[in-house]
Structure 1
Amino acid sequence: MPEKFASVDEYIAAFPTDVQTVLRKVRRTLHDAVPDATDRISYRMPAVTVSGKPLLYFAGWQKHISLYPIPETDDALAQELAPYKSGKGTLKFPLARPVPYDLIGRVAALFAAQR
């Protein structure tokens, strides 16, 4: 993979076709949850931004898709996120299992509301 990407489309295109499909759907899910968002490359990965400021980052890896950071949640949502939590502020969604796009959308909407 290149060190730098000029656009989110270029970033996604650098992955195998099956991962591209997942990354595109994650991107669409984030934008559906936060309609006024735009995106750009920041820290060498896609960032969904609101008013020019990064809200969430998403990234493709060999065996998972990651989403960063995690917003403050209530106990019920925290329990739903627990199987995907990895380290402080990171969610990892294994590519070997169905990706919970609805959960990703709820995280994005919550984080946007908190901002």
Structure 2
Amino acid sequence: MTVIDDYLAEYSGPHREHMDALRAIITRLAPDATEALSWGMPTWKLNGNLIHVAAAKHHVGLHPGADGVAFVSEELAERGFRFSKGTIQLPVDRPIPVDLVERLVTFRVAQQEAKA
């Protein structure tokens, strides 16, 4: 078991489903990233912080940093997702926008790999 497994074990239902789906996407697109807990959140690291996820009351937060949010901000607005400078709210009563998350993770991986 990893620290992320321990974090996920605290959740069930749609929160857990969303976090499991996000983990699968991140792991598939960033196979060299390591899993950790940072600021109490599941975190994937690749030459520094790649992306974080965290459960909230009605959503799962995806935290790709300011550059990551800016990369997809227009599409987030068009699709009606709430977001701020470094955080995207993925409501648990809506499907995860897999295509958008995949593009975002791919963007962040390229950013972090360029740091090497």
Quickly name the TM-score band, shorter chain normalised: 0.7 to 0.9
What's the TM-score, normalizing by structure 1? 0.81
Contact persistence 2:14–2:93 (CA under 8 A): no
Which amino acid letter does the alignment assign opposite residue 78 of structure 1? S
Give 1 or 2: higher helix fraction: 2
RMSD over equivalenced CA pairs, Å:
1.7
For structure 2, list consecutive stretches of 5 or more residues without a partner in the other structure: none
- 1:34-81 deviations in whole A, cap 9, x for unaligned? 121121111001001114x211111111210111124242xxx43212
What's the TM-score, normalizing by structure 2? 0.80
- 1:11-35 deviations in whole A, cap 9, x for unaligned? 0110123321221111111111212
* Aligned counterpart, 1:3: none
Q: Matches of 2:85 and 2:10 in 1, distance apart?
A: 27
Out of 105, 109, 113, the position equivalent to 2:110 is 113
Q: Percent identity?
A: 28
For structure 1, list consecutive stretches of 5 or more residues without a partner in the other structure: 1-5
Out of 83, 88, 92, the position equivalent to 2:89 is 92
